[in-house]
Amino acid sequence: MSIGLALKAFVAVLSSKETAQRIRQVFQGGDSPSGSTDPAKSLEHSSATTSESVKPAVVAFQSSRSDALTLLSTLQREARFLDLVGESLDSYDDAQVGAAAREVIRDCRKSLDRMFAISSLDDREEGTTCKAEDTCALRTRIIGNNSGTNNSGVIVHRGWKASQCAVPVWTGAGEDQLVLAPVEIEVGSHANR
Amino acid sequence: MQIAKYSIGIDLGTTNTLLAFAEMRVDQPRVDVLSIPQVVAPGQIESLESLPSFVYLPSDSDISGGMLAMPGRTAKEPVVGSYARQISAEQPDRVVAAAKSWLCHHQVDRHAAILPWNASKEVAKISPVEASRLILQHVVAAWSAAFPAAPLAEQYVTLTVPASFDMAARELTREAAISAGLPEDFVLLEEPQAAVYHWLNRKGDLWRRELTEGDLLLVVDVGGGTTDLTLVRVTQESGELVLRRLAVGNHLLVGGDNMDLTLAHFAATKFAEKGTKLNAWQAVSLWHACRKAKESLLSASDKKTESISVLGRGSKLIGGTVTVDIGRDEVHRLLADGFFAPSSLDDRPARDAASGFQELGLPFEVDSAITRHIAAFLSDNHEPNQSSALATHVLLNGGVFKSALLREKLADVLASWHTANERPKLLGGVDDLDRAVACGAAFYGWSKHHGGIRIRGGTARSYYLGVETAGLAIPGIPRPLQALCVVPFAMEEGTELDVPGREVGLVVGRQVRFRFFASANRKNDKVGTTLRDWDETELQETAPMELTFSAEETPQEGYVPVRFHSRVSELGVFELWCNSTKDDQRWKLEFNVREDS
């Protein structure tokens, strides 16, 4: 896990000044780099005066396990994601799969939007003709052969971006960190149905 | 006094609580909503924009497990927020919901540990006041964590209450708030007014183009569990437009949750028709599914039917999923016509006349048609000098109105009361329906400091003390009661009044108790007006007022002649004093919110 994280951090530092700053803070023992750094969402138009002091302080909670595990656990809790992808599709027809998937997909979307505020990376519609400029490969992927001087292309995918990363903070410890969903046991009067 | 750094608005809702804030010392207020960290599952904390107003009372195993703790809160303390709401259906015995509705329920002792209502004996219950305190305390802690350098107790704080809350419920809210850490001088603001302030903030100075002198604005605030109505008249004073709150409706226990439940019942019968029997767990899932489906079912679409599914339990998700198709027009009939029924202005909400016996519990409305409640409200508050009781403008608030269909439906019914070419104008959009109250309250604090527009109104009701008439006692028959008006309708904040009329003798050394009544529609009674008989719909009894003398105050005669003196402070706090007519002594009457013994 730590090598993966280190790699991720390495890439992130190179691609984003802000991430670099946050990671620097971690090494300096500063505030948590958790995504909940700027939880307040503005209601006002961008023209409104903003002063630095309005921003709430970082609430210093720190997960003791990878956010990836907590993300899976959240999607299972709120949308039953693991139940859906874990089940064999062989014995069901498309309508039955569809009925279940519709619910799960809708709930997944809601959870992902809340935690990551996902939107298109490029505002332009798909099909728009544009210049295929040589930019960072993380942001733009050029498909096909760019021959000659005419470097115009067509947007076939608008890309995705997250505006935040606000996965719940996990407060458990030790072995439990690999638990994605608890075992459910029904007791009492409900049990003998 | 030093100016607070922030203006904070707290919307303590029946189902959700929010905190919004704005910097005080800026010319253009920017209102933000604070994210509130809360337990979302055992061992998981997330910051969310709203804090569900649910309180979970942890079991012994929860406490020893420690997985419901949060930084700054131990595992022993009740858990407020998302996790509490999530398990409210599974563990109704341990979750307090709708504490706010209990705060204004004057037939129960609101300081007594009665919630969760009907919970088993093993659960250490809490009082409605305590539940409200816990919710507010959670919000205060979230603020302190986010703004450690600006303690909440030093900010300008506005807490919203339903316009329909009576004096006693407001006093209880104040008590819970101060013990939760709000400053002593925080302000109570009525929720529909907060929604209007939010609209004013969004409009800026342009609001003067939308409203003109003589306009009548109806605010319909449909929350999760309650509906709150308010009328605001636009008048002109020395060339300036002035907003004056004319009237507020009664506390109506009908809201968005009723709609979800109605839809769930309807879907359950559809399942039954198909031969699918739902168990208890599936029934709860169905309720959640209906809540989620409501929005898409009530949006404009060409699709004739929409499917509602209950997912299979366990890891057999797909195999166990059951589905019914629900016709869009059926849902429209059910919800739009059920809650926003076409009605005439002369219609009145149905009252439950059939049963003389009612289980104590929250007094939910018998008639769910919000439109009929609005009709009654408008007719009851028809000003004698105005030709029409109808509103020219309508401001809708509450998540229910995210549905364009319901907005239009309500607008249609309201329009049907007007003549053909008139139609009340809907103000505001659909963006901030869930947070308008909190944001409006934060803006109100800023606006007050900067001399912005204010809605005037004074008290929303007139108030009466029950005074027994003197005369020969007849065994078995209580002395006739008279109602003495001590607070006239629309008594302004920051004013006081001597109550004229005869002296009342207070017997010393004993507890003095007066019955206390409120009226929403006796607007012409003056302070000192005495009513000999009244209609039950006119005067509603609220918590009694009491006073106990301390021993050293005992005069020789055994009683003190007093006159009453009422006062409504700048902050909207009501005080009723007994002033001795012999000397300068005076005593304050306090609400007794305990059960009648």
Asked if the C-beta of B11 comes within 8 angstroms of chain A's C-beta atoms, the answer is no
- The yes-or-no verdict on residue B460 having pLDDT over 90 is no
Q: In this predicted structure, what is the pLDDT of residue A148?
A: 59
Burial of B126 (0-12, 13-18, 19+ CB in 10 A): buried
- Across the range B298-317, mean pLDDT stands at 82
> Which helix (H) or strand (E) is B393 found in, with range?
strand B393-397
C-beta atoms of B45 and A171 within 8 A: yes
Q: In this predicted structure, what is the pLDDT of residue B358?
A: 40
For residue A165, the distance in angstroms to the closest alpha carbon of chain B comes to 11
d(CA A28, CA A35): 18
Q: In this predicted structure, what is the pLDDT of residue A26?
A: 43
| Bridge-based pairing state of the strands A169-170 and A160-162 | unpaired
C-beta atoms of A57 and B23 within 8 A: no
Q: In chain B, what residues touch A87 (CB-CB under 8 Å)?
A: 315-319
> Which helix (H) or strand (E) is B44 found in, with range?
strand B44-48
Q: In this predicted structure, what is the pLDDT of residue B555?
A: 60
Q: How many CB pairs under 8 A join A and B?
A: 139
φ, ψ (nearest 5 deg) of residue B262: -60, -45
B6, B7, B11, B32, best to mutate vs chain A, most A CBs in 10 Å: B32
Any residues with CB less than 8 A from the CB of B491 and at least 6 apart, and which? B458, B459, B497, B527, B566, B568
Domain end position, chosen among B168, B188, B208: B188
C-beta atoms of A103 and B289 within 8 A: yes
Residue indicated by tokens 């029904």:
A186
Q: In this predicted structure, what is the pLDDT of residue A57?
A: 65
Name beta bridge partners: B334: none
> Which helix (H) or strand (E) is B182 found in, with range?
none
Residue of A nearest to B296 (CA): A106
Q: In this predicted structure, what is the pLDDT of residue A52?
A: 46
Among the partner-chain residues B34, B69, B317, the one whose CB lies closest to the CB of A100 is B317
Q: In this predicted structure, what is the pLDDT of residue B553?
A: 58
pLDDT in tens, A117-170: 999 999 998 888 888 776 788 888 888 776 656 678 889 999 999 999 999 999
Residue of A nearest to B431 (CA): A43
Band (pLDDT 50/70/90 cuts) for residue A5 is: very low
Any residues with CB less than 8 A from the CB of B291 and at least 6 apart, and which? B260
Residue B123 is assigned to a structural domain of this protein:
yes
The pLDDT > 90 percentage for chain B reads: 35
Residue B75 is assigned to a structural domain of this protein:
yes
- Across the range B393-421, mean pLDDT stands at 89
Eight-class DSSP state of B156: E
Domain end position, chosen among B155, B188, B221: B188
- The yes-or-no verdict on residue B178 having pLDDT over 70 is yes
Name beta bridge partners: B496: B567
Distance of CA A60 to the CA centre of its chain: 20
Name beta bridge partners: B546: B513, B590
Tokens of B8: 């904070």
Q: In this predicted structure, what is the pLDDT of residue B515?
A: 87
Band (pLDDT 50/70/90 cuts) for residue A31 is: very low
CATH number, position B21: 3.30.420.40
d(CA A134, CA A116): 28
- The yes-or-no verdict on residue B242 having pLDDT over 90 is no
d(CA B508, CA B225): 44
d(CA B510, CA B558): 10
Sign of CA dihedral A5, A9, A15, A21: positive
- Across the range B264-292, mean pLDDT stands at 87
pLDDT in tens, A81-130: 999 999 999 989 999 999 999 899 999 999 999 999 999 999 998 888 88
A37, A59, A65, best to mutate vs chain B, most B CBs in 10 Å: A59
Q: In chain A, what residues touch B307 (CB-CB under 8 Å)?
A: 99, 102
Q: In this predicted structure, what is the pLDDT of residue A121?
A: 93
**Lowest model confidence (mean pLDDT) among B214-218, B421-425, B485-489:** B421-425
C-beta atoms of B317 and A87 within 8 A: yes
Average pLDDT, chain A: 74
Among the partner-chain residues B28, B32, B439, the one whose CB lies closest to the CB of A49 is B28
Eight-class DSSP state of B359: -
Q: In chain A, what residues touch B30 (CB-CB under 8 Å)?
A: 42-44, 48-50, 54
Nearest CA-CA partner of B567 in B443, B448, B458? B458
For residue A135, the distance in angstroms to the closest alpha carbon of chain B comes to 35
Asked if the C-beta of B292 comes within 8 angstroms of chain A's C-beta atoms, the answer is yes
Q: In this predicted structure, what is the pLDDT of residue A146?
A: 64
Q: In this predicted structure, what is the pLDDT of residue A10?
A: 45
Band (pLDDT 50/70/90 cuts) for residue B357 is: very low
d(CA A57, CA B143): 10
pLDDT in tens, B363-378: 677 788 899 999 999 9
C-beta atoms of A92 and B148 within 8 A: no
C-beta atoms of B280 and A193 within 8 A: yes
Q: In chain A, what residues touch B316 (CB-CB under 8 Å)?
A: 87
Name beta bridge partners: B579: B563, B586
What ipTM was estimated for this complex? 0.78
Eight-class DSSP state of B479: P
Q: In chain B, what residues touch A77 (CB-CB under 8 Å)?
A: 40-41
Average pLDDT, chain B: 86
C-beta atoms of B319 and A91 within 8 A: yes
For residue B545, the distance in angstroms to the closest alpha carbon of chain A comes to 43
Residue B525's domain comprises 462-591
For residue B585, the distance in angstroms to the closest alpha carbon of chain A comes to 49
Residue B55 is assigned to a structural domain of this protein:
yes
Q: In this predicted structure, what is the pLDDT of residue B565?
A: 93
Residue type, B397: N
Q: In this predicted structure, what is the pLDDT of residue B404?
A: 85
Q: In this predicted structure, what is the pLDDT of residue A164?
A: 92
Residue indicated by tokens 């739009």:
B336
Q: In this predicted structure, what is the pLDDT of residue A71?
A: 96
- The yes-or-no verdict on residue B560 having pLDDT over 60 is yes
A34, A36, A44, A165, best to mutate vs chain B, most B CBs in 10 Å: A44
| Bridge-based pairing state of the strands B481-487 and B36-41 | unpaired
Residue indicated by tokens 């997944």:
A108
Residue B427 is assigned to a structural domain of this protein:
no
Spatial contact of A78 and A70, defined as CB atoms under 8 Å apart: no
Q: In this predicted structure, what is the pLDDT of residue B331?
A: 87
The pLDDT > 70 percentage for chain B reads: 93
Among the partner-chain residues B32, B45, B318, the one whose CB lies closest to the CB of A97 is B318
Residue type, B288: H
- The yes-or-no verdict on residue B216 having pLDDT over 90 is yes
**For chain B, how many structural domains are there in total?**
2
Q: In chain B, what residues touch A60 (CB-CB under 8 Å)?
A: 71
Residue B33 is assigned to a structural domain of this protein:
yes
- The yes-or-no verdict on residue B181 having pLDDT over 90 is yes
Q: In this predicted structure, what is the pLDDT of residue A2?
A: 42
For residue B465, the distance in angstroms to the closest alpha carbon of chain A comes to 45
How many other C-beta atoms can be found within 10 angstroms of the C-beta atom of residue B502?
Answer: 12
Eight-class DSSP state of B332: I
Band (pLDDT 50/70/90 cuts) for residue B220 is: very high
Residue B105 is assigned to a structural domain of this protein:
yes
Tokens of B160: 């919203």
Which range has highest mean pLDDT (A25-39, B5-19, B112-126, B403-417)?
B5-19
Distance of CA A108 to the CA centre of its chain: 11
Domain end position, chosen among B160, B188, B216: B188
DSSP string, B250-318: --B---HHHHHHHHHHHHHHHHHHHTPPP-HHHHHHHHHHHHHHHHHHTS--S-SEEEEEEPPSTT-TT
d(CA A188, CA A166): 37
Name beta bridge partners: B243: B234, B455
Among the partner-chain residues B26, B33, B317, the one whose CB lies closest to the CB of A43 is B33
Residue of B nearest to A35 (CA): B47
Spatial contact of B476 and B442, defined as CB atoms under 8 Å apart: no
Name beta bridge partners: B456: B244
Q: In this predicted structure, what is the pLDDT of residue B482?
A: 86
Distances (CA, A) of B51 to B75, B110, B182, B195, B475: 18, 23, 17, 19, 55
Residue B334 is assigned to a structural domain of this protein:
no
d(CA B408, CA B298): 11
d(CA B567, CA B134): 30
Q: In this predicted structure, what is the pLDDT of residue A149?
A: 61
C-beta atoms of B148 and A43 within 8 A: no
Q: In chain A, what residues touch B42 (CB-CB under 8 Å)?
A: 182
Among the partner-chain residues B40, B71, B314, the one whose CB lies closest to the CB of A168 is B40
Q: In this predicted structure, what is the pLDDT of residue B360?
A: 52
For residue A179, the distance in angstroms to the closest alpha carbon of chain B comes to 11
The region, left, alpha or beta by phi > 0 then psi within -120 to 50, assigned to residue B81 is left
**Lowest model confidence (mean pLDDT) among B32-36, B237-241, B335-339, B564-568:** B237-241
Band (pLDDT 50/70/90 cuts) for residue B307 is: confident
Among the partner-chain residues A40, A86, A167, the one whose CB lies closest to the CB of B35 is A40
Q: Name which residue leads in pLDDT, B75 or A71.
A: A71
Q: In this predicted structure, what is the pLDDT of residue A145?
A: 73
pLDDT in tens, B96-155: 988 888 888 877 888 888 888 878 888 889 999 999 999 999 999 999 999 999 999 999
